[in-house]
Chains A and B, each alone.
Chain A
Amino acid sequence: MGTAPASRDVTSYGMGLAAPLALFFLLFFVAPLLQLFWLSLHNDTAGLHWGLGQYLHFLTDPFSLSVLGSTLLLGAEVTAVCLVLGFPIAWLYQRVGPKLQTVIILIVLLPLLTSVVVRTFAWIVILGRQGIINATLQSLGIIDTPLKLLYTQFGVVIALAQVQMPLMTLPLITALGRIDPNLDDASCSLGAGSWRTFFRVVLPLSLPGVIAGCTLTYAAAITAFITQSLVGGGQMLFMPMYLYQQASTLQNWPFASAISIIFLLAVLAVVSVFTTLGRLSRGYGGA
């Protein structure tokens, strides 16, 4: 980054130490990616005719575009839910005693300690027609017929939000912990109420954490194949499943490759927007 070129200080290590990992990535990540890209540049499934036909097909096909759109929207919704629910938890974490902090961190980390498949099936049990929510509401007489929660956008967003919550909460806890608690008091003593203090001091200073959390949550949410497929069911189609169908079921590898590349670029675009925001906010919260 900012290190002066050609200055070799004693703490700099040779690039050679990074070579094994670099080689690994080259072999198992960069090479397949290039192959994928090469494959996507063919117009027929046999891979005989070169062309941009697959990309054209995707970009002119309303169905494909709607899948891409709903996937990106899903990511946005999950990220928003995680941010809105995760921020108060992170905020609370910084204001309770060490015992409660342990409890909170355990609750936050719990989703990471169980298998994603188990967690997802738990949500199916909770959200299903005869699930916990419907059974409770019916027994209380609040509803007559079961609500449709499973296989809906709502269900997918809720399940994904729970699964991805730690990715949002942990960076937020770190960011909020770096804010000098005196700033709260200073703001208050200068006449600011809680909301002004939050929006003018706490939120701006926690932006690096917000952006890190959003990037992680977003990237994880839109690529969460298992949760999307199981909770979304057959009616809801998102990019990972679309890709899977094209590749596995229809054996249309060039189109599947094109979908991958487009999806990759879309994710990169969104992530780079977050990183740019992050860079702009780097002026904040400096040590």
Chain B
Amino acid sequence: MTHTKHPVPAFDPELAAALGAIGQELPPTLTPEMIPALRQMPDDPTLHEQIAAVGATHEERTIEGFEGGEILVSIFRDPSRSTAGPGIYHIHGGGMITGNRLMGVAGFLPFIKSHGASIVSVEYRLAPEFPDPVPVEDCYAGLVWTAEHAEELGIDPARILVGGASAGGGLSAGVTLLARDRKGPDLRASLLIYPMLDDRNETISAHQIDGIGVWDRTSNETGWTALLGDRRGTDDVSIYAAPARAEDLSGLPPTFIDVGSAEVFRDENVSYASRIWAAGGDCELHVWPGGFHGFDNFAPHAWLSAAMVETRNKWITRMLDS
């Protein structure tokens, strides 16, 4: 097809300034040969302190993933609590191709202190070595394990929230659909932080974000192709791998979606929310103007980032409270 340049919403100035200052450390376009380097990103060195600060411990378990493969889960909880609290089942991001279970957990740690939550974060196996359906099925297996071990983990099985960002948001949506269609586990809520939902990469926003911002259309193609191979964009893709393809979005738990207006995932996220409403469902959608992908994490000092995180945490609080 002919390549046409699309006008793009301007980045929020605080985010644009941050991106301009260190953008070269994070190129907008990620290609398959960059995957090994992406996996070298170091973990947050302060995570241990953050865990200790909320009075929690970190425990690792090896559990059975898809088709009996072994996967790791990390459990963060306050062992001194005697009553069951809500469970947060966390799925990390990284475009299906990178990342680990410690990535993105920090933002949920405060709920251990405030709500007595237990967090389980799953180390699903990554594409392209483990293509679809391994990642989403590993995530589902981890959720089933979490629900089955709820009592031992101090989790009230009626209050399990599944959530994650980016690819972790897409996998959370997939796991939510699996839980609906396989009749369990029951989910209190589904938290989709700028989720990666649509392998087709053909929305207007997927065309707008091309060579700019964070996680552009080529990066998106890199991630989806790693996951789906030749099946990407064909009819041979399940709704669990690419939840944007689900025709029926009824019967879902309360869902939260937040996304920037200047990122690839904008349109597929807005459309997902619209279809949940069309099916009579409960969805809270926030589109943050001028936000690029993952801006809240990239530039947490920016006003927009603070507003996004605060809004998201209020929703989580509401879900975990009851």
A joins B in a complex: no
